[in-house]
């Protein structure tokens, strides 16, 4: 699996959230490296736990700012976050239990949603919030 490389087109124009997204990229890359290096399963478990809590932290931060500035796409955005978070939690729990889920399946899902969501829905709040923060 290819590592995720940050590109300018991923930027939502808000430094704080770009930074969060970059950290999420790096966490997924850590999982890719751990898998390639055949790391101890505990390394993968710990990274998944970190990813789960960081995802929650990041979603709460985005939602709070959208709410604060009255972004009209908030409800739709929250719904997508809920679906994504439930998948992240499900995969984290399955990895913790060693239920046979492959790391490739997890990585495909994680890399897919992060790119789709960052390039898709997150781009909608970018222009709206950008000039309210400045
Ligand atoms: Fe988002």
d(CA 84, ligand 1 centre) in Å: 10
Question: Is there a domain that residue 27 lies in?
Answer: yes
d(CA 89, ligand 1 centre) in Å: 16
pTM for this model (two decimals): 0.93
d(CA 119, ligand 1 centre) in Å: 10
CATH number at residue 63: 1.20.120.50
Do 114 and 21 meet the contact criterion of CB atoms below 8 Å apart?
A: yes
Identify the CA nearest to 118 among candidates 59, 74, 40: 59
| Residue 101, CA distances (Å) to 14, 32, 67, 75, 125 in order | 35, 15, 36, 32, 34
- What six digits make up the tokens of 32? 């890719």
Whether 134 shows a pLDDT value over 90: the answer reads: no
Residue 101 lies in domain: 14-127
Helical H runs in 70-120?
A: 74-97, 103-119
Question: Is there a domain that residue 7 lies in?
Answer: no
Neighbours of ion ligand 1 (CB under 5 A): 62, 122
Question: Is there a domain that residue 4 lies in?
Answer: no
In this predicted model, what pLDDT tens digit does every residue of 28-80 receive, in sequence order?
A: 999 999 999 998 999 999 999 999 999 999 999 999 999 999 999 999 999 99
Number of domains in the chain: 1
d(CA 37, ligand 1 centre) in Å: 31
């Amino acid at each position: 699996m290819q590592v995720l490389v940050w590109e300018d087109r991923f930027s939502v124009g808000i430094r704080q959230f770009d930074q969060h997204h970059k950290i999420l990229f790096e966490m997924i890359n850590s999982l890719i490296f751990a898998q390639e290096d055949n790391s101890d399963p505990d390394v993968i478990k710990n990274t998944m736990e970190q990813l789960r809590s960081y995802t929650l932290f990041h979603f709460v931060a985005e939602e709070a700012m959208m709410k604060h500035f009255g972004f009209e796409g908030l409800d739709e955005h929250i719904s997508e976050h809920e679906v994504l978070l439930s998948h992240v939690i499900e995969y984290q729990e399955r990895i913790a239990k060693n239920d046979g889920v492959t790391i490739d399946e997890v990585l495909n899902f994680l890399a897919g949603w992060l790119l789709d969501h960052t390039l898709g829905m997150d781009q909608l709040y970018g222009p709206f919030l950008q000039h309210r923060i400045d």
